[in-house]
Amino acid sequence: MPRIDIAHVPERKGTGYPAPFDARCAERIRQRLGDAGGLTDFGVNLMRLPPGNWSSQRHWHSAEDEFVFILEGEVTLIEDGGETVLRAGDCAAFPKNSGNGHHLVNRSAATAVYLEVGSRSPADVITCSDVDMMSPSADGRFLHKDGTPYPAPGA
């Protein structure tokens, strides 16, 4: 089994969201461990969420299951059914096409670290619950829910 040296996996800060939806996630850091290991059927991301930051806009996936496992710290899971505090050792699962919008918010004073695992369906569409945004995952574009594209970054 090939070892992945996390120190050599590139870090990506923030999201690709258009403004103003990117601001609450601006300091979030993602390392794509699955990509580094050559995985193609599912993704595994090491996430670092500083105090005050969100993991994402609240969203759900049409064709991808998603799973998170908290390694360090504490986050608040916000979903349609309410809020739940997750601490190191806790996990949560989000079945595809549930319509249950979810995200993590770090309301603590320390950076939280967690693993994010998801399938990689090219048919997946991400729908945001609280804002006018969606994304056909395969191409990474962000659209209004009526299908109108947001301007490309720098346009």
Q: How far apart are CA 108 and CA 145, in angstroms?
A: 32
Domain range annotation of the chain: 19-136
CA 92 to chain CA mean position, Å? 13
Q: For 61-106, write each residue's pLDDT tens digit.
A: 999 999 999 999 999 999 999 999 999 999 999 999 999 999 999 9
Q: Which residues contact 17 (CB under 8 A, 6 or more apart)?
A: 25, 57, 133, 142
Domain 19-136: give its CATH architecture.
Sandwich (2.60)
Residue type, 97: N
With contact defined as beta carbons under 8 Å apart, do 57 and 128 qualify? yes
Q: For 8-41, write each residue's pLDDT tens digit.
A: 999 999 998 999 999 999 999 999 999 999 999 9
With contact defined as beta carbons under 8 Å apart, do 64 and 123 qualify? no
**Which pTM value belongs to this model?**
0.94
Can you give the pLDDT at residue 153? Answer: 66
Question: Is it the case that residue 1 has pLDDT exceeding 60?
Answer: no
Q: How far apart are CA 12 and CA 123, in angstroms?
A: 24
Cα 136–Cα 142–Cα 144 angle in degrees, nearest 5: 100
Q: For 99-150, write each residue's pLDDT tens digit.
A: 999 999 999 999 999 999 999 898 999 999 999 999 986 677 899 999 999 9
